[in-house]
Amino acid sequence: MLKLAVLGSGSGTNFQSLLDAVRAGRLSAKIVAVISDNADAFILERARRAGVPAFAVDAAPFKTKLDGAGEARVLEILRAQGASHVALAGFMRIVKSGLLRAYAGRIVNIHPSLLPAFPGLQAWKQALDYGAKITGCTVHFVDEGTDTGPIIIQRAVPIREDDTPETLHARIQVQEHLAYPLALQWIAEGRLRIEGRRVRGAPESGVIAD
């Protein structure tokens, strides 16, 4: 069973999907902490309502990364709560070397595109602006780059002619809420291994269309 800490900056819909999967017996995990760099983020309220320990961490003076005292505080919480793995769920800061070393191979992220296409912020809008015909979501291990870690699973979402950024993002989130618990369950079952830049052992492969 994974002892999972979830880091997020926003509303926490992916945290909710993980919590629902745990309660339904589809994810062999205990969520031991939710940590946010935004004291007003709704993910913290979701955690409190569910009885999950919730922590707001001040990451200042940095704007886009988790470093320095903020990183040290996150590591302190993770160790105190006994976290074995970390799931990034809409966490809007770049994870730095201290956390990467402490949880090497045990930090996972979900990104709203079919990586390596459209890394970074607002990937669904990037896809629309580019004129792509298909996008989706990717669950991957976290490394030193931005959305560059070894890919575990991807799910595809066709882009419709009448899509707006909001409608496309909503449909991508449906696939995120399926993919993330599944990928973490594979980790819990010990199915996956990282070989260089690739992940081996996923029992189903490739891109799954909505």
Catalytic residue positions, numbered: 111
> What's the first-to-final CA gap in the chain, in angstroms?
29
Q: Please, which residues have CB within 8 angstroms of residue 104's CB and are 6 or more apart in sequence?
A: none
DSSP code for 206: S
| C-beta of residue 147 within 8 angstroms of C-beta of residue 122 | no
Helix, strand or coil for residue 187?
helix
What is the Cα–Cα distance from 6 to 160, expressed in whole angstroms?
Answer: 32
What is the Cα–Cα distance from 58 to 204, expressed in whole angstroms?
Answer: 39
What is the Cα–Cα distance from 139 to 39, expressed in whole angstroms?
Answer: 26
What is the Cα–Cα distance from 5 to 35, expressed in whole angstroms?
Answer: 7
